[in-house]
Amino acid sequence: MSYNKENTVLDEKQLIKQCLKKDERAMEELYKYFSPRLFGICLRYTKNRMEAEDLLHDGFIRILNNLENYRHEGSFQGWVCKIMVTSAINYYHKNISRNKETDLNEMGSEELMDNDINSFISHNELLEMVRKLPDGYKMVFNLFVIEGYSHKEIAARLNVSENTSKTQLLKARKALQNMIFTEKKMTYEKSA
């Protein structure tokens, strides 16, 4: 078979065109291609998988509804991820009053404990640590460290001041450091 490199690239324009025509298969293809990445984003911004699934659902619907606004400028993946992050922020604003205080010592059932005696911390453990952060810390940490927003942008999106954003980041780092330290200490003690 002759290898056609063009066929390995997601035919964005064609796919978007089909999705705009509400072609279910095209939408499904789009979903399959981006859902792992988007689900990763959702997991970081929510407390549990159920919330992450809800967010993925809402975010993808928003992506489909906004496809006509995509100007084919820049990376399509970047655009899609941006929409999902925006959905995450909206989700946060909607649920902010119902957020209960998170017990930083609580261990989630989905967490995979790393029993290795070395200092390696798995992705799942790191994810759990982020998810255990209080909502405010989590939002700022994700937006600043992972998504790369500036404090000014974060402040505008979360309707807080830049000072609050900076302070929340400081607290998030402190909380994560404590979690890492505590977990590794427990691991060392277990192995001892």
Partner 1 sequence: MRNRPDHKIDELFQEAFRDFNPEPPGNVWNKIKDSVATDSNSRKKGFWVRNRLIFSIAAAFIIAAGFSSIYMDDIFPSNAKGDMFSENSVTVSNHNRPLSKTEENFLNEVSPENNTNSLAFVLPANTNSKVSEPSNTVKNYYPDISKNGYDEKTPENTKSVTIPEPEKVETVLVEEKVKQNTELVEDIINMPIVENIPIDKTINSVPEIKAVENTVFTAEENFPEIKVMVNEKDQLSIVETDLTNLPIAEKKEEVSHNFNAYFNENKSSNPEIAENKIDTAIIPDIILPIKKAKNYTPSRFAIGLHYTAENLYQLSNSKYLTDRSFRMGGSSWEVSLNFRLNNKISLGTGIGYTSYSENVYFNVDGEKTTIIDSLYNGSEWEYITETETVSYREMLTNNYSFIRLPLFLRYKIVENNRFSLHFTGGGIFSQVMDKREKVLQLPNDITISSTERVTPFQSNYSFLLVTGLNLHYQVSNFVTLGTDLMFKRNITNYYETGGTIMKTPYSVGIRGSVYFNL
Cα–Cα distance between 116 and 164 in angstroms, integer?
Answer: 37
Instruction: Please report, as residue ranges, which positions from 146 to 165 form the binding site for partner 1 (by CB under 8 A).
Output: 146-150, 158, 160-161, 163-164
Q: Does residue 113 sit in helix, strand or coil?
A: coil
**Nearest alpha-carbon partner for 59 in 51, 69, 48:** 51
Buried b (16+ CB within 10 A) or exposed e, 140-158: bbbbbeebebebeebbebb
104 binds partner 1 per the rule CB under 8 A: yes
111 binds partner 1 per the rule CB under 8 A: no
Cα–Cα distance between 62 and 31 in angstroms, integer?
Answer: 12
The only residue of 79, 88, 130, 157 in contact with partner 1, by rule CB under 8 A: 130
86 binds partner 1 per the rule CB under 8 A: no
Instruction: Please report, as residue ranges, which positions from 37 to 66 form the binding site for partner 1 (by CB under 8 A).
Output: 37-40, 43-44, 49, 52-53, 56-57, 60-61, 64
11 binds partner 1 per the rule CB under 8 A: yes
126 binds partner 1 per the rule CB under 8 A: yes
CB of 101 to partner 1, least distance (A): 5
